[in-house]
């Protein structure tokens, strides 16, 4: 186990530990570790990987065999989920630096398998973290909760993290000038992903992105940031977004036709593989903007949860070639209705779809019957049909046909 913690990026110690578990009567946990490692090595949208991550893995992560194996953590530190595990071991932890018993100088976090840290720093000391070996194990670091002083942030930005790829700020952890300072720093140069959530960003932040040269960023997530369409347009056309493959925006529940237009017409659009805009209304031209562009033809994942997608918007999207390469389509929490589901089922462009999320989409028997009778039935690895308006008879049909490929 010590070898797993020392070399978190290496699969070999994890597989050796699985062998040890087999020899000591823990065959179920050993099999899970091997399966999780094997799935992580498959392409992102491989049907076997999707099945494991969406169906088999969540079930096992609730079993006593796994939960009893977790290292105890001090008060002020908790394992995060979902997912609880990556490559067979718990990977994400939240630490409240305001609680002294949870500080890195008191807890040997390098003896855990955590690679992601959500730190509630506030005015708490950061020297214990920045001086520990653990920081070099981290691939994902997020500052959350209490506002962090400028001096503490500067210490973070000046510290070399050996393996860090993703950095984030959330829930008012930084004021806007400090968030812009992160973007301007050399620290930002090393990142593959950046996220901001639950704090207001404005044109100043967008201009900081625009003022940069090219970057290594492939993933950008800006959730509940009250970002205007104009500011987003500046960001997605900036040289720093030249390698962007994933864009996550939204959560502000605004009528955002202009936001979708900004993305659809951007220079970044042609490279996007994942576009998630949940919590922004497709009304006032949003669906038309997405459907009409040829720049989003490379999308493999489209997430439009809670985007006020009615049947007319669903028909517009279903008739668009931007669906051609989709592996994942999320239309959950929309007033889609059966007519909208029928439009999706009849789309000629969903030949590669593997995951369809329709939970809380107001779909009735006619909508699900259309899916059962369409090519989607054979193609889908997983269908989330939970919390809809189907009858008990249709529920039984879906369960009989889809078996464990459905959540209902």
pLDDT digits (tens, 9 = 90+) for 206-221: 999 999 989 999 999 9
Q: Are strands 89-90 and 85-86 parallel, antiparallel or unpaired?
A: antiparallel
Report pLDDT for 254. Answer: 66
Q: Identify which of 89, 133, 130 has the alpha carbon closest to the alpha carbon of residue 108.
A: 133
Say if CB 263 and CB 238 are below 8 A apart.
no
Q: What is the token pair recorded at 23?
A: 């020899």
Residue at token pair 């589901």: 341
The residue-averaged pLDDT of 317-340 equals: 98
Banded pLDDT at 342 (limits 50, 70, 90): very high
Distance of CA 405 to the CA centre of its chain: 21
| Res. 23: pLDDT tops 80 | yes
Report pLDDT for 148. Answer: 86
For the ranges 24-38, 105-119, 170-184, the lowest mean pLDDT is seen at 105-119
| Res. 124: pLDDT tops 80 | no
| Res. 386: pLDDT tops 70 | yes
| Res. 296: pLDDT tops 90 | yes
SS3 state at 314: helix
Q: Identify which of 289, 271, 270, 273 has the alpha carbon closest to the alpha carbon of residue 281.
A: 289
The more confident residue out of 245 and 69 is 245
Q: Is 40 exposed, middle or buried (0-12, 13-18, 19+ CB in 10 A)?
A: middle
Q: Which helix (H) or strand (E) holds 276?
A: strand 274-276
Banded pLDDT at 101 (limits 50, 70, 90): low
Banded pLDDT at 97 (limits 50, 70, 90): confident
The mean predicted confidence, pLDDT, of the chain is 91
The more confident residue out of 346 and 284 is 346
The more confident residue out of 121 and 122 is 121
Q: pLDDT tens digits, residue range 85-96?
A: 999 999 999 988
The residue-averaged pLDDT of 295-310 equals: 96
CA separation, residue 144 to residues 44, 169, 232 (Å): 28, 6, 23
Find the largest Cα–Cα distance for the chain. 62
Q: pLDDT tens digits, residue range 263-273?
A: 999 999 999 99
Report pLDDT for 125. Answer: 72
For the ranges 98-102, 134-138, 257-261, 361-365, the lowest mean pLDDT is seen at 98-102
Q: Which helix (H) or strand (E) holds 2?
A: helix 2-6
Contacts 24+ apart (CB under 8 A), 156-159: 156/126, 156/130, 156/187, 157/181, 157/182, 157/185, 157/186, 157/187, 158/187, 159/130, 159/135
Whole-prediction pTM: 0.94
Residue 189, sorted as left (phi over 0), alpha (psi -120 to 50) or beta, turns out to be alpha
| End-to-end CA gap in the chain | 38
Q: pLDDT tens digits, residue range 347-383?
A: 999 999 999 999 999 999 999 999 999 999 999 999 9
């Amino acid at each position: 186990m010590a070898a797993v913690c020392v070399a978190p990026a290496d699969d070999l110690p994890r597989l050796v530990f699985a062998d040890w578990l087999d020899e000591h009567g823990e065959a179920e946990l050993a099999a899970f570790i091997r399966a999780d490692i094997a799935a992580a090595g498959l392409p992102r949208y491989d049907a076997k990987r999707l099945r494991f991550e969406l169906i088999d893995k969540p079930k096992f992560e609730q079993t006593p065999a796994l939960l009893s194996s977790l290292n105890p953590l001090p008060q002020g530190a908790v394992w995060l989920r979902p997912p609880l595990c990556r490559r067979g071991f718990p990977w994400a932890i939240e630490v409240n630096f305001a609680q002294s018993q949870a500080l890195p100088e008191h807890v040997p976090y390098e003896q855990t398998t955590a690679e992601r840290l959500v730190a509630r720093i506030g005015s708490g000391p950061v020297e214990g973290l920045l001086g520990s070996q653990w920081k070099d194990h981290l691939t994902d670091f997020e500052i959350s909760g209490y506002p962090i002083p400028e001096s503490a942030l500067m210490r973070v930005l000046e510290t070399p993290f050996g393996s860090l790829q993703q950095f984030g700020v959330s829930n008012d952890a930084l004021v806007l000038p400090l968030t812009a300072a992160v973007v301007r720093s050399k620290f930002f140069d090393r990142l593959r992903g950046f996220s901001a959530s639950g704090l207001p960003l404005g044109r100043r932040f967008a201009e900081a992105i625009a003022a940069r040269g090219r970057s290594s960023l492939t993933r950008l997530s800006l959730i509940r940031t009250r970002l205007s369409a104009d500011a987003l347009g500046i960001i997605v056309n900036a040289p720093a977004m030249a390698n962007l493959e994933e864009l996550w925006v939204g959560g502000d529940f605004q009528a955002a036709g202009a936001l979708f237009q900004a993305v659809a017409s951007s220079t970044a659009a042609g490279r996007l593989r994942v576009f998630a805009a949940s919590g922004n209304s497709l009304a006032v031209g949003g669906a038309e903007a997405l459907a009409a562009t040829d720049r989003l033809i490379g999308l493999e994942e489209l997430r439009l949860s809670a985007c006020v997608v009615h049947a007319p918007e669903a028909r517009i999207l279903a008739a668009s070639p931007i669906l051609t390469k989709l592996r994942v389509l999320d239309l959950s929490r929309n007033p889609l209705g059966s007519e909208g589901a029928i439009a999706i089922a009849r789309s000629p462009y969903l030949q590669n779809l593997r995951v369809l999320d329709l939970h809380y989409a107001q779909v009735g028997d006619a909508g699900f019957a259309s899916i059962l009778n369409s090519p989607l039935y054979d193609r889908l690895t997983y269908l989330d049909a939970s919390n809809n308006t189907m009858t008990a008879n249709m529920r039984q049909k879906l369960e009989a046909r889809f078996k464990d490929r459905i959540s209902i």
